[in-house]
Amino acid sequence: MDINETENTGFGGSEEPVGGPGAAPAAKSGKEKPGMVDEIIEWVKSIVIALILALIIKSFFIQAYMIPTGSMEPTIIPRDRVFGNRFVYRLHEPKHGDIIAFRPPDVVAESEHGKITSFLKRVVAVGGDTIAVKDGKVILNGVPLDEPYIKAPPRRDYPMRKIPKGYLFMMGDNRNNSLDSRIWGLLPEKNIQAKAFFRFWPPGRIGILR
């Protein structure tokens, strides 16, 4: 007999499957796929977790702002949307040049619709500084600032003023069309909401704010 042939041990009949005709069917391997109800429950869990995380991030870390006016042109223009870091000023004090979202002082806190709004301006002076505007230049501690980000030099002068600790002097980059510290006074640091750091809309203007 050739060794490649299969030997038939019966008397001409074919072999039966292992276990014989009365054997029980083999058990299914693995677990069955979850039903539709289980899948819905998992989706609901995922959505709830995502919402909770979003609320935590918004409450403690990141806030989105839509810019309605041109007071920060050309850096930020109307309808731009930016992210603000709500946590950073727990680590250090505001710095010159920071763009900050804040609750305006009480004198301007009520908008024309009767709701409290957020303002977005640039930090020009911090506590301990002296500030003045003269001949189209902002003078900080006796030194004219180089401000490549402004739309145009300010047309109006502002008398020298010393900034007390715990307060900021804020100005819009559109110096001749901005409701800022030259009009409503100093900003208490307690009014700060976030440091604006990134423009996420529109797509053609996405980028870091400076």
Cite the active site residues.
71, 121
- Nearest one of 153, 160, 155 to 132, comparing CA atoms: 160
With contact defined as beta carbons under 8 Å apart, do 141 and 130 qualify?
Answer: yes
DSSP summary character for residue 107: G
Rounded-to-integer distance, Cα 53 and Cα 35, Å: 27
Rounded-to-integer distance, Cα 198 and Cα 160, Å: 33
42-80 in b/e burial notation, b at 16+ Cβ within 10 A? eeeeeeeeeeeeeeeeeeeebbebebebbbbbebbeeeb
Rounded-to-integer distance, Cα 183 and Cα 180, Å: 6
Rounded-to-integer distance, Cα 50 and Cα 203, Å: 25
- Nearest one of 28, 94, 91 to 61, comparing CA atoms: 91
